[in-house]
A and B are shown apart, each in its own frame.
Chain A
Amino acid sequence: MAPVSIIGAGLSPFGRQPGVTGREMAVTAIQTALRDAGLEWGDVQVAFGGSDGAGLADTLVAELGLTGIPFTNVKNGCATGGSALVSAVNAIRSGQAEIALAVGFDKHPRGAFDPRPEDWGLGAGYGEAGLMVTTQFFGIKIARYMREYGISDQTLAAVAAKAYRNGVLNPNAWRREAISEEDILSADMVNDPLTRYMFCSPGEGGAAIIVASESAARRSGLRPVTLLSVAARTRQFGSFEVFSPAIQGTGAPTSVSAAAAAAAFEIAGVTPDQIDVAQLQDTESGAEVMHLAEAGFCKDGEQEDLIASGATEIAGSLPVNTDGGCIANGEPIGASGLRQVHEIVTQLRGEAGERQVPGNPRLGFTHVYGAPGVSACTVLGV
């Protein structure tokens, strides 16, 4: 397949921004990405994007300029950014455009997500009984995983502490204060074994990525990062997801993250051990632990020693969530997937400042996962 390059990446600030709408954050992210690429809005030939609850992406043209380009709304939960990127890449590959935009944004109210049972095909009784709580799924999944593979509470705390530490080094992060493992472990328990500080919070932010054909990337004269692959998947039979009245099938549940990651690696012709820096969905610290194995970076259970050894720290052998991940940046659903891509682009260009991975990283990986069983992964290289 024809190579596609990322020639621009931009973020809005992440975290609470009173008085700023999600759409305004999206416009900020797009204008930042355009500046990064040395382009103007009029250069973008096709656009895809969306939010979970902050408005329609195609209305952003009112702020950007009415250039008449095709602009398709994407609404795909946590995979919104990834799905928009897949579409942008396909538009380049098909020859529809030479320069395409993917944008994701959101602005969620304070507190846990507040889904309605009927939107999920569930009876009202499900909510009345107290099961319409997203965090329960994460607690059940990691608690079982820890029993099965010998992962400790200390490891969960280490993952969260790393996220906050990396957030300190990231000027755009929401959470910019280090929290000790001790304080993380002794914080209020939300759903055992996960404490309050192990979870990300619904947040605010926008992220935009500009992709281009090889010839357009060459013309730009900038520092293109090659998008070696992007793969989005939905769950297969036997998966275990949030708000599941049952897990069907026998044996261990299937993983949509494993399927998307395997597809991304296969298309890229890259293996997980070649990756120099990775972004993994860390809805809570247990998710980062499990996704290390689901994405193929280690075997189940190896995370206990891997994380204790410092391998996933910025200076480690496999730095993970160098920008602080969802735990330090919050979770604006539509934006998170493209925030991850932005961070890898920044790292591969060597422009990550205090949080720069040493040794000129050449290959990066991103993984986003969310309800109701969607995942999108990318492999990026320079």
Chain B
Amino acid sequence: MTELGSLALEGSRCAACGNVAFPSARGCQRCGGTMEPVTLGSRGTVWGFTIQRFAPKSPPYIPPADGFRPFAVGYVELPEGVKVEAILDCDDFAQLEDHASVVLVATEPVPRFAVDTAIDTEES
């Protein structure tokens, strides 16, 4: 397992207005200014989510080797203000309520965050 502390998402910050984008972009959506690379914080809170109850169409979806199970997908609000779309790991979907605190556990193929308790469970 990758060291959690070493994981980070690479985004960009506008040199003119400070707006933060993910993934990194050339131009700023707010002011059109030039953006510069920025490493985003790896902890955030769940801004919104839903549960993917059925297996998405394959291709393009690649289900896990042990088969599809419903998973949560949503947006994580990072300290930089940007909300990043991510797959959300948890033991129970109810854990994602109330702006749950989550931590980045994977960056590819899309960001993946886990509720703190889910990580504790895995590590214990």
Q: Which A residues lie at the B interface, using CB under 8 A? A: 111-112, 114, 116-117, 123-133, 136, 139-141, 143-144, 147, 188-194, 237-238, 244-250
Does the CB pair B85–A244 fall under 8 Å? yes
Q: Which B residues lie at the A interface, using CB under 8 A? A: 11, 19-23, 29-30, 47-57, 59-63, 71, 73-75, 81-85, 87, 93, 97, 108-110
Most buried by B among A140, A246, A250: A246
State the Cβ distance, A380 to closest chain B Cβ, in Å: 34
State the Cβ distance, A118 to closest chain B Cβ, in Å: 10
State the Cβ distance, A114 to closest chain B Cβ, in Å: 6
**What is the chain A residue whose CB lies nearest that of B60?**
A127
Does the CB pair B53–A125 fall under 8 Å? no
Specify which chain B residues have a CB less than 8 angstroms from the CB of A248 in the assembled complex.
Answer: 19-21, 29-30, 82
Does the CB pair A143–B87 fall under 8 Å? no
Docked Cα-Cα span, A111 to B74, in Å, equals 23
Q: Which of A129, A147, A194, A246 contacts B84 (CB 8 A)?
A: A246
Does the CB pair A246–B51 fall under 8 Å? no
Does the CB pair B109–A123 fall under 8 Å? yes
Docked Cα-Cα span, A140 to B47, in Å, equals 9
**What is the chain B residue whose CB lies nearest that of A114?**
B57
Does the CB pair A133–B56 fall under 8 Å? yes
Would you give 21 A-B contacts (Cβ < 8 Å), ordered by A? A111-B57, A126-B110, A128-B109, A129-B61, A129-B87, A129-B110, A130-B55, A130-B63, A130-B73, A130-B87, A132-B61, A136-B52, A136-B73, A194-B50, A238-B30, A245-B84, A246-B75, A246-B84, A248-B21, A248-B29, A249-B19
Q: Which of A128, A130, A136 contacts B50 (CB 8 A)?
A: A136
Q: Which of B48, B49, B61, B97 contacts A130 (CB 8 A)?
A: B61
Does the CB pair B75–A140 fall under 8 Å? yes
State the Cβ distance, B49 to closest chain A Cβ, in Å: 6
Does the CB pair B81–A192 fall under 8 Å? no
Does the CB pair B50–A247 fall under 8 Å? no
State the Cβ distance, B70 to closest chain A Cβ, in Å: 9
Docked Cα-Cα span, A319 to B105, in Å, equals 48
Specify which chain B residues have a CB less than 8 angstroms from the CB of A247 in the assembled complex.
Answer: 47, 75, 82-83
Does the CB pair A144–B54 fall under 8 Å? no
Nearest first, the 10 closest Cβ-Cβ pairs linking A and B are A125-B109, A127-B60, A139-B50, A144-B48, A246-B22, A247-B83, A250-B81, A191-B50, A129-B110, A130-B56
